[in-house]
């Protein structure tokens, strides 16, 4: 093995070895997904300097379109594995509205000795790996091989299916300066994106990737080019008391208008507006949909206008958290979502959102982590009891099971989620994340694609 000099990075009790793609604490390997490791390496190489989110995305995913929420997920993972204090930042600082900065002192150690060998896949020192190792060694090899086989066929099917039509839903922009206008538009946009993400033959850019178009005038054709999509849905609105005037247009990247319409609605009509717009997009783009998908588009998620408005607020706070990473955003989102399910206890999507907000707090803040995990799993199961095919509910339950170390069941649920929302990047990323921690790195890499 080569004895040439290499550079190791030491900070706190940790040491990162770039030649081995290895992070250790003392003698113990710290498990990280490949992209989480690359994110940490980029931060270390640029320590002391604020890296904006676009720069980080370009360095870590140079050849792929990835949503900002995936970067946030990697940052969350790193903070958890580094045991970064939430009250006093030790390693990775969030610079509001800009990006991230590595703030700890770093020692560069040059060594000519041969690098430490990689640990075997199943020697990873974490609770999650202990659970998986027990699972493998406890005469459950048949189930393990079933997961590998079914995962392989699942990804083979994904890779051979026809390329879907691509679309971006730009944030609906308010035409007045009333408080809350911008948030309302983001919530409506996110709800439409979630609705369309369930379609097999339509790939919709995630909400986090379009938030930069929230303010000011937008050139739809330029946005389509920047986002790498064939068409964009662009809308404006103006609220006056109980009435809302909305203008929506579906525009191709060559500036041709596929469809345009104006709506004059009352608040209670918004429940049908989301469904109608989704259907108009499908018709305008001539997206082939199955009977099941058409039924889903036509099925209202709730009959309560008040519950729906609170649900939109909750979704806004979730994305605010991805941007600001502040506990306050999660708490406000939980409050809005909880009020939504109080107004309509049968509102499955609101239960799923509330579950995800509990789980995001559990994953990234130590205080009340155990109770948040319990609440998150219980609420996710409630969402699925109301709607067994809820992709959002399946995602939340899979996330809860993974955090609890129950990877086998988490994989099952997340595989169901990608069936229900086949073009959801977040669903595939989360499945890849759990595959990785289950030691199924080949399936993880396919999911990350």
Confidence label for 423 from pLDDT (cuts 50, 70 and 90):
confident
| Burial profile 170-207: b = 16 or more Cβ within 10 angstroms, e = fewer | bbbbbeeeeeebbbbbbbbbbbbbbbbbbbbbbbbbbb
Q: Which two tokens stand for residue 93?
A: 């600082």
Domain ranges in the chain with CATH number 1.25.40.10: 135-162+314-448
- Which of these ranges, 136-140, 199-203, 231-235, 272-276, has the smallest mean pLDDT? 136-140
pLDDT digits (tens, 9 = 90+) for 358-389: 998 887 777 888 899 999 999 999 999 999 98
Q: Which two tokens stand for residue 120?
A: 């075997």
What is the structure's pLDDT at 319?
79
Domain ranges in the chain with CATH number 1.10.10.10: 6-119
Fold of domain 135-162+314-448: 1.25.40
Fold of domain 6-119: Arc Repressor Mutant, subunit A (1.10.10)
What is the structure's pLDDT at 424?
79
Whether the model clears a pTM of 0.85, i.e. scores above it, the answer is no
Mean pLDDT is highest, among 72-76, 229-233, 269-273, for 229-233
pLDDT over 90, % of the chain? 22
Compute the distance between CA of residue 49 and CA of residue 403 in angstroms, rounded to an integer.
Answer: 32
Confidence label for 110 from pLDDT (cuts 50, 70 and 90):
confident
What is the structure's pLDDT at 43?
95
Average pLDDT (3-9) is 71
pLDDT, mean over the chain:
79
Average pLDDT (243-266) is 86
Tell the residue number behind the tokens 């919709």, with chain if given. 204
In the predicted structure, residue 131 carries a pLDDT above the cut 70? no
Confidence label for 449 from pLDDT (cuts 50, 70 and 90):
low
Domain ranges in the chain with CATH number 3.40.50.10070: 165-298
What number does CATH give the domain 165-298?
Answer: 3.40.50.10070
């Amino acid at each position: 093995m080569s004895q040439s000099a290499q550079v190791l990075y030491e900070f706190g009790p940790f040491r990162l070895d770039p030649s081995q793609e290895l992070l250790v604490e003392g003698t113990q390997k710290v498990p990280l997904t490949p992209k989480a490791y690359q994110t940490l390496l980029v931060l270390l190489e640029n320590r002391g300097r604020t890296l904006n989110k676009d720069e980080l995305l370009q360095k870590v995913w140079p050849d792929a379109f990835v949503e900002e929420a995936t970067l946030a997920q990697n940052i969350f993972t790193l903070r958890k594995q580094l045991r970064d204090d939430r009250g006093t930042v030790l390693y990775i600082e969030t610079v509001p509205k800009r990006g991230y900065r590595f703030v700890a002192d770093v020692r560069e150690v040059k060594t000519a000795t041969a690098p430490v060998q990689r640990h075997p896949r199943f020697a990873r020192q974490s609770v999650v790996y202990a659970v998986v190792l027990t699972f493998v060694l406890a005469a459950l090899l048949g189930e393990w091989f079933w997961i590998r086989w079914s995962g392989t066929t699942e990804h083979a099917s994904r890779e051979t299916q026809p390329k879907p039509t691509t679309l971006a839903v730009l944030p609906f922009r308010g035409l007045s300066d009333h408080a809350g206008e911008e948030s309302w538009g983001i919530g409506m946009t996110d709800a439409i994106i979630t609705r369309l993400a369930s379609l097999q033959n339509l790939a919709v850019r995630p909400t986090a990737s379009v938030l930069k178009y929230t303010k000011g005038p937008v050139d739809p054709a330029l946005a389509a080019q920047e986002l790498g999509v064939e068409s964009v849905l662009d809308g404006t609105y103006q609220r006056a008391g109980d009435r809302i005037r909305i203008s929506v247009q579906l525009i191709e990247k060559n500036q041709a208008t596929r469809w345009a319409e104006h709506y004059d609605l009352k608040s209670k009509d918004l429940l049908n507006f989301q469904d109608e717009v989704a259907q108009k997009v499908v018709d305008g783009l001539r997206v082939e949909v199955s009977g099941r998908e058409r039924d889903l588009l036509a099925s209202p998620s709730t009959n309560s206008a008040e519950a729906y408005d609170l649900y939109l607020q909750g979704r806004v706070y979730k994305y605010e958290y991805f941007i600001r990473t502040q506990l306050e955003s999660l708490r406000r989102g939980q409050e809005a979502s909880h009020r939504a399910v109080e107004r309509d206890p049968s509102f499955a999507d609101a239960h799923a959102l509330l579950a995800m907000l509990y789980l995001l707090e559990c994953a990234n803040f130590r205080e009340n982590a155990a109770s948040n995990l319990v609440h998150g799993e219980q609420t996710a199961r409630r969402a699925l009891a109301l709607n067994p095919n809820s992709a959002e509910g399946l995602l939340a339950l899979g996330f809860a099971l993974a955090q609890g170390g129950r990877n086998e069941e988490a994989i099952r649920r997340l595989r169901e989620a990608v069936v229900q929302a086949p073009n959801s990047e977040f669903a595939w990323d989360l499945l890849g994340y759990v595959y990785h921690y289950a030691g199924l790195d080949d399936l993880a890499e396919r999911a990350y694609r």
